[in-house]
Amino acid sequence: MAQAQLTVDLDAIRANWRALDALSDCETGAVVKANSYGLGADRVAPMLGREGVRRFFTATVEEGAAVRKALGDGPEINVFGGHMAGDAALIKSAGLTPMLNSIDQMLRHVEALPGHPFGIQLDSGMNRLGMEAEEWSALRELAMKQKPRLIMSHLACADEPNHGMNAHQLRNFCEMTDGLDAPRSLAATGGILLGKNYHFDVTRPGIGLYGAMPFRDARRVVSLHLPVIQTREVKTGESVGYGNNFVARSPMKVATISAGYADGLQRALAPKTYLWAGETRCKLLGRISMDLITVDVTAVDNVPDALELLGPHQSVDQLANHIDTIGYEILTSLGGRYARSYAGE
């Protein structure tokens, strides 16, 4: 089969980081977890390092080790998942800074790697990761003697600026950390946009770097073009695809496209999704299968070699809206079979 082409615009990521950095009033890091949201941490992280980022964030130590390999020595790599059992050797060899989430993680870290850098993650109300107020109160004196590199928490509703949870978590975070001698971080992309009260010493932009909401001013980062394998004429009453899910009401021209749910195109996308041939919108027909989709190209005089799924005509957030999800899920689902290229290096 022909290979679909996924293009990542590194210049756009660079511009998005600069814009969020300009809003931050403090040090601006970068979240490169999940392979830079599916776009390639081995290319994104070094580019951001050259741009001046000195603090990166990953979800797991394995991700952190991969980013360290790409970056080399120097920048700090903070691991949101903290110090799990069996992680000590990789934390040490890759020079990672785990964000400790519990008393158990704190004890594990100081026993396995005495003197090794660490940070603290606090739960300010999200009830997901981090030490709760009582746990932190019991551990705070011991932890601060070890000089944590960063104390952070995470906002649950930062993409909704008027949500009362934002102010609630801000108050809780201040109550838990005011007066402590360590850098603090509360804001990811949404928190940056909430304003300087949420910025503290370090911000952690993630999704905004990659061109998606809630950063409305972000430059588009991703384009995805899917190759046309074959076109055919379909007669009135004939069906297309599995289950006879689509039946033609009139004669039409149908293109079979090389992509499917194995490439991250979820089956739920089928009813509302369009592809683009130049300026012509082409409806996706029938079911999405593992490797193939079918598209109505009746209105296209000269069918191109590939159709656009993501690009100037359709963003990751617009595609996400078709199935009531978010741009994060679209980006991180993009499959491994795409031929990836990088613009702007």
- Residue 307 C-beta-side C-alpha neighbours within 13 Å: 29
Residue 337, marked binder:
no
The CATH number of residue 333's host domain is 2.40.37.10
> Tens place of pLDDT for every residue, the chain, 345 residues?
579 999 999 999 999 999 999 999 999 999 999 999 999 999 999 999 999 999 999 999 999 999 999 999 999 999 999 999 999 999 999 999 999 999 999 999 999 999 999 999 999 999 999 999 999 999 999 999 999 999 999 999 999 999 999 999 999 999 999 999 999 999 999 999 999 999 999 999 999 999 999 999 999 999 999 999 999 999 999 999 999 999 999 999 999 999 999 999 999 999 999 999 999 999 999 999 999 999 999 999 999 999 999 999 999 999 999 999 999 999 999 999 999 999 987
Same structural domain, 89 and 192: yes
Looking at the chain, how many residues does it have? 345
> Does 128 show up as a binding residue in the annotation?
yes
Cα distance from N-terminal residue to C-terminal residue, the chain: 29
Tell me which residue of 193, 212, 213 sits closest to 204, measured CA to CA: 193
Residues 244 and 188 in one domain: no
From the candidates 33, 261, 283, 328, which is the catalytic residue? 33
**196 shares a domain with 54:** yes
Q: Which of 174, 209, 244 is the last residue of a domain?
A: 209
Cβ–Cβ < 8 Å for 221, 210: yes
- Residue 1 domain flag: no
Last residue of a domain, one of 158, 188, 209: 209
Q: Which of 161, 186, 209 is the last residue of a domain?
A: 209
228 and 200, same structural domain? no
* 328 assigned to active site: no
- 73 with 107, same domain: the answer is yes
Query: What one-character-per-residue DSSP string does 177-227 give?
Result: HTT-SS-EE--SHHHHHH-GGGTTTEE---GGGGT-TT-TTPPP-EEEEEE
16 with 59, same domain: the answer is yes
Looking at the fold, whether 163 and 261 belong to one and the same domain comes out as: no
What is the pTM for the complete model shown?
0.96
CB 121 within 8 A of CB 153: yes
How many domains does the structure of the chain reveal? 2
143 and 195: one domain?
Answer: yes
Domain of 107?
10-209
For helices 61-71 and 41-51, angle between their N-to-C axes, nearest 10 degrees: 60
Active site residue 242: yes
205 prior amide bond cis, ω within 30: no
- Which CATH number goes with the domain that contains 92? 3.20.20.10
Say how far apart CA 157 and CA 58 lie, in whole Å: 21
